[in-house]
Chains A and B, each alone.
Chain A
């Protein structure tokens, strides 16, 4: 039942009824992707899990006014980003100035290459092309492709303009396409799902 509720509904139930089942459903829905996001910044699974746990602790602490938050997903991503950057600054020497200065390890899943009749080396080429993108571009790519966030939301979370997000995504797609060999013969037709 809770699994089918959308985020705004869960948010409302937590704020009004302190509904712990809604809290758990929200965690199930968002924690994995927030952990992936944090992981790409802090690069440690334990640290990422702890950061996201802190985020959800904070969420619980402000539960009574939670309904005032406009876009809960963006809010949680933003706190996750801040807590992750705090963690990095505490743990490493250099204070973080901008995302492009950071070592970023994006979590990217290239879906079903077998179905596309791609050889392992081509997939590897695409993967490497993605890893060679600048850090900020990689994060944007991860947030849009993996987590399905809107450009406006990504711009808000990362303090960028929507135009930047647009251009960075275009670059990512171009790099992916360029990593593929020129296809001379038509591929077997697949039924679109």
Chain B
């Protein structure tokens, strides 16, 4: 259709990309189709945008607030241009940037002493923290969590140790696998987004995968997770007291075994699907990164621990049967009172008292 050529040329003119030859050709075509000329004049009128009137002051002030908060946290400063490989963007400057990186990196390696330099980021109960590691990996730490790594060797060996819960968005670097060590499992990563939960006072350690792929190593078993899969491993029995140990084994056995492999002797592990909040598709395991408090088929006992960390209180449950009651719920920015009230109505039918930082739950 001849008009297609006309529209192409006109679009080039509108966006300022037409060559002189193309402009001449356009004029000729417009002369040949006078009725189109009028139409396209209208399109040109619609193309013009009204001048931008937006006042950015408030938006900028909000941004400054976030910037200063981010500066205050212990973050490894990015010394070079971002390490995350950006393909097309760096095409033009690739050679010089790569050289600059290599040169700078070599210099750093020569001058750094051999002794390990541990870096630790920890959060208290009731608070969360976001950190950027030297390779560009972003880590969101939930309450009562601790992340440690050796700043000196991190470039070669992307190893970190996690106690608590963190959501990772790992910068892609196929030459250097990212490994997270927790008490019950190691997670090997190549560039993905996932959540790892390993609290000392909980019965299980879990890794939930959202994007990419990770390899989880438990004792000597290697399990590869696909997106939206979650692996649960019972923590070492000795670390957990009494009845709870037996419950851990039961909990691990009760979940569906999707991996198909028989678990290694003495290690109970299960692989199942990541569950999503029915209402708005936020994966329950990552809800906390969005400031939502979420419980996924958890006993009141475990919920109590979550609440304790989230609100920085101590929670005591007086009744054993109450402790084992299961709940699934999500709370978006609610007060402690609201959460307890909702839970007590939902099925626990329990009574609770909040005194300063102590919560007591009775049947």
A binds B: yes
Q: How far is the CA of A183 from the CA of B249 in the complex (A)?
A: 78
Residues in B with CB closer than 8 Å to A50 are 66
Q: How far is the CA of A92 from the CA of B274 in the complex (A)?
A: 13
**Could you say which of B8, B63, B67, B70 has the most chain A C-beta atoms within 10 Å of its C-beta?**
B63
Of the candidates A65, A145, A170, which one forms a contact with B4 in the assembled complex, judged by CB atoms under 8 Å apart?
A170
Judge whether A111 and B59 touch: CB under 8 Å.
Answer: no
Q: How far is the CA of A182 from the CA of B87 in the complex (A)?
A: 46
Judge whether B4 and A111 touch: CB under 8 Å.
Answer: no
Judge whether A111 and B50 touch: CB under 8 Å.
Answer: yes
B278 to chain A, nearest CB (A): 12
Given A126-B46, A180-B39, A182-B35, A65:B81 Cβ within 8 A: yes
Q: Is B11 an interface residue (CB 8 A)?
A: yes
Of the candidates B17, B35, B82, which one forms a contact with A151 in the assembled complex, judged by CB atoms under 8 Å apart?
B17
Judge whether B60 and A144 touch: CB under 8 Å.
Answer: no
Q: Is B262 an interface residue (CB 8 A)?
A: no
Judge whether B11 and A172 touch: CB under 8 Å.
Answer: yes
Q: How far is the CA of A154 from the CA of B35 in the complex (A)?
A: 32
Of the candidates A95, A112, A126, A156, which one forms a contact with B48 in the assembled complex, judged by CB atoms under 8 Å apart?
A112
B259 to chain A, nearest CB (A): 21
Residues in A with CB closer than 8 Å to B290 are 90-91
Residues in B with CB closer than 8 Å to A136 are none
- Of the candidate stretches B89-97, B147-155, B197-205, B322-330, the one touching chain A is B89-97
Judge whether A110 and B40 touch: CB under 8 Å.
Answer: no
Residues in B with CB closer than 8 Å to A92 are 281
Annotate A174-193 by CB proximity to B: 1 below 8 A, 0 otherwise: 10110010111011000000
**Is the contact region of chain A dominated by helix, strand, or loop, or is it mixed?**
helix
Residues in A with CB closer than 8 Å to B43 are 173, 176-177, 180
Q: How far is the CA of A111 from the CA of B43 in the complex (A)?
A: 10
Q: How far is the CA of A189 from the CA of B108 in the complex (A)?
A: 68
**Could you say which of B11, B43, B47, B227 has the most chain A C-beta atoms within 10 Å of its C-beta?**
B11
Judge whether B227 and A95 touch: CB under 8 Å.
Answer: yes
Judge whether B276 and A174 touch: CB under 8 Å.
Answer: no
Q: How far is the CA of A98 from the CA of B39 in the complex (A)?
A: 34
Of the candidates A24, A69, A75, A90, which one forms a contact with B210 in the assembled complex, judged by CB atoms under 8 Å apart?
A90
Annotate B180-196 by CB proximity to A: 1 below 8 A, 0 otherwise: 00000000000001000
Judge whether B14 and A68 touch: CB under 8 Å.
Answer: no
B177 to chain A, nearest CB (A): 21
Of the candidates B3, B50, B60, B97, which one forms a contact with A68 in the assembled complex, judged by CB atoms under 8 Å apart?
B97
Q: Is B12 an interface residue (CB 8 A)?
A: yes
Of the candidates A64, A145, A159, A166, which one forms a contact with B49 in the assembled complex, judged by CB atoms under 8 Å apart?
A145
Judge whether A65 and B193 touch: CB under 8 Å.
Answer: no
Residues in B with CB closer than 8 Å to A90 are 193, 210, 286, 289-290
Given A57-B66, A115-B45, A183-B35, A173:B81 Cβ within 8 A: no
Given A56-B63, A90-B210, A150:B81 Cβ within 8 A: no
Judge whether B45 and A68 touch: CB under 8 Å.
Answer: no
Residues in A with CB closer than 8 Å to B96 are 68
A62 to chain B, nearest CB (A): 5
Judge whether A89 and B14 touch: CB under 8 Å.
Answer: no
Residues in B with CB closer than 8 Å to A49 are 59, 62
Q: Is B100 an interface residue (CB 8 A)?
A: yes
Annotate B83-114 by CB proximity to A: 1 below 8 A, 0 otherwise: 00011110011001100100000000000000
22 A–B contacts, CB within 8 A, in A order: A31-B59, A49-B62, A50-B66, A53-B62, A56-B63, A61-B78, A61-B132, A70-B92, A86-B193, A92-B281, A111-B48, A112-B50, A151-B15, A159-B87, A166-B12, A170-B7, A173-B43, A176-B43, A176-B46, A180-B39, A183-B38, A187-B42
List A residues at the B interface (Cβ < 8 Å): 24, 27-28, 31-32, 35, 49-50, 52-53, 56-58, 60-62, 64-65, 68-70, 74-75, 78, 86, 89-93, 95, 109-113, 115-116, 118, 126, 144-146, 148, 150-151, 156, 159, 166-167, 169-174, 176-177, 180, 182-184, 186-187
The 7 closest A-B pairs by CB, nearest first: A170-B8, A111-B48, A173-B11, A174-B7, A183-B38, A169-B11, A116-B45
